[in-house]
């Protein structure tokens, strides 16, 4: 597993992170890891999303509205 070091974190951001971690009963490192997992998709997740959208498009093709329909 890789190690990540972050420098020069603004004080207010660090305090918000610390409070968030405390509220969830986690260490700051565990909270940062949870935030990264929740917000940064992996290649596998991106592929799954793309496949999901492609399946949706096959079921319900997108029909571009005519200019008269937008009004």
pLDDT tens for 26-51 read 999 999 999 999 999 999 999 999 99
Q: What is the pTM of this model?
A: 0.66
Judge contact between 19 and 25, C-beta under 8 A: no
Judge contact between 24 and 31, C-beta under 8 A: yes
**Domain spans of the chain, in order of start:** 11-70
Residue 19 — pLDDT band, cuts 50, 70, 90?
Answer: very high
For position 25, what pLDDT does the model report?
A: 98
Whole-angstrom Cα Rg for the chain? 21
pLDDT at 11 over 90: yes
Greater model confidence, 2 or 62: 2
């Amino acid at each position: 597993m890789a190690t990540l070091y972050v420098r020069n974190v603004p004080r207010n951001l660090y305090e918000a992170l610390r409070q968030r971690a405390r509220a969830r009963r986690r260490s700051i490192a565990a909270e940062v890891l949870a935030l990264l997992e929740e917000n940064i998709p992996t290649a596998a997740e991106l592929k799954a999303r793309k496949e999901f959208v492609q399946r949706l498009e096959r079921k319900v093709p997108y029909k571009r509205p005519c200019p008269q329909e937008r009004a």
